[in-house]
Chain A
């Protein structure tokens, strides 16, 4: 037994059960290789990071993906345009509205269909509400990673309302498929806009609780400041986007800089700002900066929603589309600002009912690549904080 075991093991391995005399014990201590995941509370899904540790110090890290690979891109080549929409819900399941929006915009870029103004505004409201919900989960679960349980439930209290708002408008709580090619599925039920306005008011009152309870908590600051620093150069080189970029102090937001729908108009009205990390608590680009950006963005989203409510118009909510949708031949790439960064859809059509290629550029996928570089040198506790601060959704990295 022991012979078989020792043969298959690399040299310098120490066996815990020494019931045979052949087993040699080496006093050198090799680094501990430890599987962080795929079943681990802090991997936000099923991701595996193969970590090499020397005591509490991480000396190497190698992320392994693919545990949640559901072949979204292959499915995109086999189902009709509209049929693919429910699949978009499932890659970043915390921001399904935004995924629907990204895909719809990409297809619309080929179609050239006109979107009614009311549909556009409802789209923005939904996308921004979902951004709030997504950031609430990101911030709440980040608190969990750091060891604070209660802020998580505070965040979910508001997210619950947000989800029931979506339930009222489209019947689903997580996978909406509400934003369709050409507009949105149906008009908002009576009283929905008023309830959204009420949600905005209440959220504005509750929001300082997150800041006071967690964001400026000294233990939280000590845990996240100067941890997992991503420099500006690194952020650009790795193709990071969204909150990760802004967390590193790069002033970039697709909503403002490459406006789609009427974000440009809202910006010109001065309704929202782009929170930009300044490295208040430590080095610029640390975990605290990233979480700060997320918390601040929630309030900006509330402002955008308010603007849309104020400028709501009557009219149809879906453009004129044929029953059997054929998309003109061509190819288009549309990137939108998802809660996690730039969600890109690269779509190739040959003029038929089915796409030739549906490429999904998930922001988490690019954001996660940076782990290999920033994990080594941190402590095991820091590793959790760093992985949490990248705010990955594994459904999106694996698609």
Chain B
């Protein structure tokens, strides 16, 4: 049968979070004797959350620095140059400044919602981040519904944005919030449908498994090359992802020349930086999804070579049957992780490039594009890919 049906059959009974975490289980098996089980689980959970938050901050800081450098070089200037080598500490300096800023809440704002909104936005994106696989064998949560989870969580941020816009009690912020809501609703559909194309080919929603499926052809068996409908789907996905992450040319919710700063107008200091971090984390996640489902995930010829040379299994059965950490495979996992990171940042770079080149589209044009062009095109792509796969299976067995 067509893989689409297999997908439904396999994925439906699996609930979020029930996926097996081989890394954690391996860790438990390796260290289980020296520590009580609950301490191990708790420690792993706390470490995991800390790592995710740390990772997000790191990604956001690096992306901000990168954005400023990219913008600078596109605009015939240098960008930050003074704090550290080529200003690499600039983001940290900015972070300290934002932390030290006065925490201001407008008098007529809805205090509770106003304070809750940035937290909601950030926690949603932190949760979404949990599905990001660091390496083939190292991840926070090996979710069978990975894609679904990431998209669901990153659309949660919209609620936070609408909340922020409403709670600020300012006309500009309400404008921004309404634009965000309309835009995300319009672009969620093409985004999901475009992503369905590789998911259909892969037959899994799991990010790690999808990546593994692309390891043939010496690490070049990317989904992108496996189906003629994949390239248009990728373009559609990328456009929809730009809109989803509020990046130019779809940065209408915060259009600074129209709405001052949109939903963020009344925010300042660390609360404002939460929205900022969310934007970069969302960019990262959207690019990561693109990298995993279109651009081969961990796989590249280098990854393949490292896997051949060092071995792929992080946990192997030891001499007396116990699971052991296979230190030899670590270079392979490092190379794989870096490959994915590189592909992700390539996507981010492309987003930045577009932002500093293109003007902003108008609100009605955004809607027209989403509903009239992207959605039907994405559906055509999905249909075409499904037929192609079905035909391939019928012909090749």
Contacts and interface: CB of A to CB of B under 8 A. Distances in A.
A384 B359 CA distance: 13
Interface stretch (A94-102, A240-248, A269-277, A374-382): A374-382
Interface string B356-397: 111111111100000000000000000000000000000000
A154 to B, nearest CB: 7
Interface string A143-163: 111111110011001000000
Given A16-B108, A16-B169, A147-B251, A41 B361 contact: no
Interface string A2-28: 000000000000001100000000000
Contact of A379 (B249, B358, B359, B363): B363
27 contacts: A16-B108, A17-B108, A17-B110, A32-B171, A41-B257, A41-B260, A55-B178, A56-B175, A56-B364, A146-B359, A146-B360, A147-B255, A147-B358, A147-B359, A147-B360, A148-B358, A150-B75, A153-B75, A154-B76, A214-B359, A219-B361, A220-B359, A223-B361, A223-B362, A379-B362, A380-B258, A384-B257
Nearest to A213: B357
A241 B338 CA distance: 60
Contact of B74 (A143, A150, A379): A150
A150 B361 contact: no
Interface of B: 71, 74-77, 108, 110, 169, 171-172, 175, 178-179, 248-249, 251-252, 255-260, 356-365
Contacts of B357: 148, 150, 213
Contact of A147 (B75, B169, B249): B249
A34 interface: yes
Interface string A168-181: 00000000000000
B108 A147 contact: no
Nearest to B167: A16
A282 to B, nearest CB: 14
B362 A42 contact: no
Interface residues of A, number: 32
Nearest to A32: B171
Q: Which 6 A-B pairs have the closest CB atoms?
A: A147-B360, A148-B359, A153-B75, A146-B359, A42-B257, A381-B362
A222 interface: yes
Nearest to A152: B75
A351 B258 CA distance: 51
A209 to B, nearest CB: 10
B257 A144 contact: yes
Given A42-B258, A148-B358, A381-B258, A56 B75 contact: no
Contacts of B179: 56
Nearest to A51: B171
B291 to A, nearest CB: 26
Contacts, number: 85
A198 interface: no
Contacts of A153: 75-77
A40 interface: yes
Contacts of B251: 147
A16 to B, nearest CB: 5
Contacts of B365: 222-223
Interface in A112-159: 143-150, 153-154, 157
Nearest to A35: B171
A154 B75 contact: yes
Nearest to B252: A381
Contacts of B259: 380
A144 B364 CA distance: 19
A217 interface: yes
Nearest to B72: A153
Nearest to A157: B76
The listed residue with most A CB atoms (<10 A of its CB), out of B71, B179, B257, B359, is B359
A32 B108 CA distance: 18
A157 B72 CA distance: 13
Given A147-B255, A150-B74, 19 more contacts: A16-B169, A41-B257, A41-B260, A42-B258, A146-B359, A147-B248, A147-B360, A148-B359, A149-B356, A157-B76, A219-B249, A222-B362, A223-B362, A223-B365, A379-B363, A380-B363, A381-B258, A381-B362, A384-B257
Contacts of B362: 222-223, 379, 381-382
Contacts of A34: 171-172
Contacts of B76: 153-154, 157
Given A41-B256, A157-B76, A380-B175, A217 B358 contact: yes
A105 B89 CA distance: 55
A219 B359 contact: yes
B248 A381 contact: no
Contacts of B110: 16-17
Interface string A200-244: 000000000000011001011011000000000000000000000
Contacts of A149: 71, 75, 356
Nearest to A385: B362
Contacts of A145: 257
Contacts of B363: 56, 379-381
Nearest to B179: A56
Given A146-B360, A148-B359, A148-B360, A384 B258 contact: yes
Contacts of B75: 149-150, 153-154
Contacts of A42: 257-258
Contacts of A157: 76
A20 to B, nearest CB: 15
A55 B178 CA distance: 9
